[in-house]
Amino acid sequence: MNKNKKILVTGAAGFIGYHLVKKLCETDYQIIGIDNLNDYYDVNLKFNRLAELGISINFLTNNIKLRSNIFENFIFIKADIADHDFIINLMAIENFDFVLNLAAQAGVRYSIENPRVYLHSNIDGFLSILEGCRRSNVKHLLYASTSSVYGLNEVMPLSEEQNTDRPMALYAATKKANELMAHSYSHLFSLPTTGLRFFTVYGPWGRPDMALYSFTESIINKKPIKIFNHGKMVRDFTFVGDVILSIFKLIERPPLSNKNLNSKQINPPYQIFNIGNSKPISILQYINELEYAIGVTAIKDFVEIQPGDVKETHANTKSLENYINYKPDTNIKVGIKAFVDWYKSYNKI
């Protein structure tokens, strides 16, 4: 690493984006982060993440560079990745070495009622990123995908070789589309791309729409928590710190084309990795650990499974482990305690 290498991080005020920028700020990379700061969830949480990175919320104007007053190697821009001309121009001017695309409209259930916003951010926005990368000769594009692409697959653990053409919600379909779009650009323009299939990421500064945040809020306020599918759900919960370290180790490890293969065996610089803890637990066990960390018993409301939800996730991460010699492994007790400690501090409890 050296200070001449530049990184673009999209979704920089988001949950994973914030943690990634903070990690990168501790290095010699030069970082530009962008985020459109939409109101899918409480914008104040995004503002506060930015404040932790030294960005004042008093001067946020679209497409204007703001330099951090904490980290001299970080600049933030309020911008939308679907603003095609702006993204293309930014990438041409800055000549980034690496691009990490974490900007997206998240949420499985939200996509059922609000489909159009997913096409705006996840399809139009990702196209801007791909075009910017190929026109400015980016050395490696890493982008967020999701375990949701596995859809109706029931063979566990889920591995990258499994079929992913049966998504259960539009959100997952747009992420699968991202993987296909990336493959086409890797093939046509030799753009090195790495897709990251995240498995239920949790931890400090997490999103309010995710289970851990909403459960914690309800338990502390002695309100019932809805437990879908009557608790018969299993998830591969992955601590955000493990996700960040995995991404960090992948940045300067782009996939390579195999030049020795003949024309019938095309092998573009394209790869996909599962990023998960590989120790799935039931949602009830997850709640038990949360109750212990908070010191309060939850009021449980058992309800039917929601449309678009899968019953189980379990990541096979052998490909990731072999590639970067690292396996996400933070224990659920440790991860949940870290979140509860942050939640109480953040909300002054």
pLDDT, one tens digit per residue, over 129-140 is 999 999 999 999
- Is 59 inside any structural domain? yes
Which tens digit of pLDDT belongs to each residue from 32-52?
Answer: 999 999 988 899 999 999 999
- The average pLDDT across 142-162 equals 95
Contact 5, 98 (CB under 8 A): yes
pTM for this entry: 0.94
Query: CB–CB of 233/283 below 8 Å?
Result: yes
CA distances from 71 to 3, 22, 61 (A): 13, 9, 20
Supply the pLDDT for residue 157.
96
Would the pLDDT of 172 be above 80?
A: yes
Please count the structural domains in the chain: 1
pLDDT bucket at 264, cuts 50 / 70 / 90: low
The domain that contains 109 carries what CATH number?
A: 3.40.50.720
Residue 211 in any domain: the answer is no
Quote the pLDDT of residue 265.
Answer: 55
Q: What is the pLDDT of residue 147?
A: 95
* Catalytic residue numbers, as ranges: 171
Q: Is residue 292 part of a domain?
A: no
Residue 117 lies in a domain: yes
Does any domain span residue 53? yes
The Cα–Cα gap between 227 and 231 comes to 6
Does 287 map to a domain?
A: no
pLDDT for residue 106 is more than 90: no
Range of the domain at 54: 6-202+238-277+314-329
- Summarize pLDDT for 2-29 with one digit per residue, the tens: 567 999 999 999 999 999 999 999 999 9
Q: Are 48 and 92 in contact (CB under 8 A)?
A: no
What percent of the chain lies above the pLDDT cut of 70?
96
Written as six digits, the tokens of 193 are: 């791309």
Q: For residue 323, tell me if it sits in a domain.
A: yes
For residues 297, 206, 53 and 294, what is the CA-based torsion angle, rounded to 10 degrees? 10
Cα Rg of the chain, angstroms: 20
What integer pLDDT is reported at residue 176 of this predicted model? 97
pLDDT value for 310:
83
Give me the half-sphere count of Cα atoms (radius 13 Å) on the Cβ side of residue 105: 27
Question: What is the pLDDT, as a whole number, of residue 245?
Answer: 98
Vertex 35 angle, CA 148 and 192, to 5°: 60
Is the residue at 209 inside a domain?
Answer: no
Give dist(CA 309, CA 210) in Å, integer: 13
Confidence band (pLDDT; 50, 70, 90) for 107?
confident
For 327-349, what is each residue's pLDDT tens digit? 999 999 999 999 999 999 999 98
